[in-house]
Amino acid sequence: MKKLVQVWTALLLTLTLVCPARAAGGLTLQMQGTDNVRLTLQNLGSREVNSVQLELTLNGSYPWAAFASDASYGQYSFCRVEEENGRTRITLYLDSLRSLNQNGTATLGTLALGDDCTAPDTARLTILDRGLESGGAEQVIPVRSDFENSGGSSGGSGGESGGRNYSIYTSSTGHGTISVRPTSARWGENVTVTVRPDSGFRLTELIAQSSGRRLQLNDRGGGTFVFAMPGDEVEVRGVFEASLPFRDVKEGVWFHDAVAYVYEKGLMSGTASDAFSPDQSTSRGMIVTILHRLSGSPDVGSSDFKDVADGQYYARAVAWAAANGVVSGYGDGRFGPNDPITREQLAVILRGYARLNGKDVSASADLSGYSDARQISAYAREAMSWACAEGLINGTSADTLTPAGTATRAQAAVILRGFCEHVIA
């Protein structure tokens, strides 16, 4: 279909350049409605009409204009809006696998304008049949309007759906609300979508979809969007992501998305209100606290580690991790909660958490290609092999793993995101 549309558009442009405009005997455009204007070609005769380019020039500004084709046969439609010198040129493209001409009439769809308008005297029209052959090249045709009679009374399948309300459903990833007004609408009516992200979050994607087809959303600013209702139910879906307050996590940096993920999930916060400190080390207590949060923060009492005092932010987390075999400490009665966590220690703890959650931890990668593989502590060899096989930990260079190296907060965010999305999901 994409190729067909490209060929069709190119042919339209060619015809526009080489064929002079002329009036068409009997062929007219009927415009009915007020805010939502029904467009119908009349007096087509018996010609096959599979593709239409229609150009309307209106006085005034209509930047939010949206077009909804007849869902019963429209396969592809597009609306282009251009403003210049107080006038708006609206170009509509409509392409169908079967003829739009039904007994001399083609109901094209509904043009949502949002405000009352004055119909132009003429419109520019190009018609192609299924073989992409011109049915008269570009034409200037008269326009008839009946703005006192809104709604779809001109016949065809679009008219049949004009009196029926179709439901509009909303969904999102959370961290924001999406509301629609009205919650059900007739074919061609304007529907307003209002988006309100939660504090600290932003809308990154908004889709209105009906019968597998994405609808055109017109941004009116202030978190409001408008689309024209098709002849079927519509789902409006939004995606909200954390709007990071951290001045040291710039868009495009390699750890940005991972930091956004752990921040949104409440796994990691900043070291200050506007700083994440990506190059600082991550402590053992921090990592265990994050995993404790993932488990719902259960309370199992106190731990036996002599360096984990009650009342510290990590105390309950360390007690839980030790009780469930996720951590075992240094073997001398200490846990080292404030010690920077090494890459191999992180691998051991994550593998222990995955096992606790019933995940298969048998994956193993060949580490012999790394020149420092022998530097991996004996207790961490299986865990490092597993973490590399799962793609959680990669080499710090082409031939080094740096197992005793400190995991920075940026590295921890990336590893935790991969762990949550691909290992324990």
The pLDDT tens digits for 52-108 are 889 999 888 888 788 887 645 556 677 888 888 888 899 988 887 778 888 788 888
pLDDT at 50 over 60: yes
pLDDT at 49 over 80: yes
Digit-coded pLDDT (tens) for 181-233: 998 888 888 999 999 998 778 898 999 998 888 899 999 888 999 999 888 88
d(CA 258, CA 33): 50
Label the pairing between strands 36-42 and 165-172. Answer: unpaired
Share of the chain above pLDDT 70, in %: 85
Residue 130 is predicted with a pLDDT of 62
pLDDT at 268 over 60: yes
The region of weakest confidence among 139-153, 311-325, 350-364, 386-400 is 139-153
Q: Residue ranges of the domains in the chain?
A: 2-161, 165-242, 256-423
> What's the mean pLDDT in 159-184?
79
pLDDT at 373 over 80: yes
The region of weakest confidence among 197-201, 286-290, 361-365 is 197-201
Residue 152 is predicted with a pLDDT of 36
Class (C level, CATH) for 2-161: mainly beta
Residue 162 is predicted with a pLDDT of 44
Q: Is 312 exposed, middle or buried (0-12, 13-18, 19+ CB in 10 A)?
A: middle
pLDDT band at 390 (very low <50, low <70, confident <90, very high): very high
Residue 160 is predicted with a pLDDT of 38
DSSP assignment string, 218-251: EEEETTEEEEE--SS-EEEEEEEEE----TTS-T
Would 2-161 and 165-242 be classified into the same CATH topology?
yes
Q: Which of 68, 14, 7 is nearest to 36 (CA)?
A: 68
Residue 83 is predicted with a pLDDT of 87
CATH among 2.60.40, 1.10.3110, 1.10.10, 2.40.30 for 165-242: 2.60.40
d(CA 176, CA 194): 11
Digit-coded pLDDT (tens) for 109-163: 888 876 567 788 889 998 876 655 555 557 888 988 765 433 333 333 334 344 5
Average pLDDT, the chain: 83
Residue 202 is predicted with a pLDDT of 85
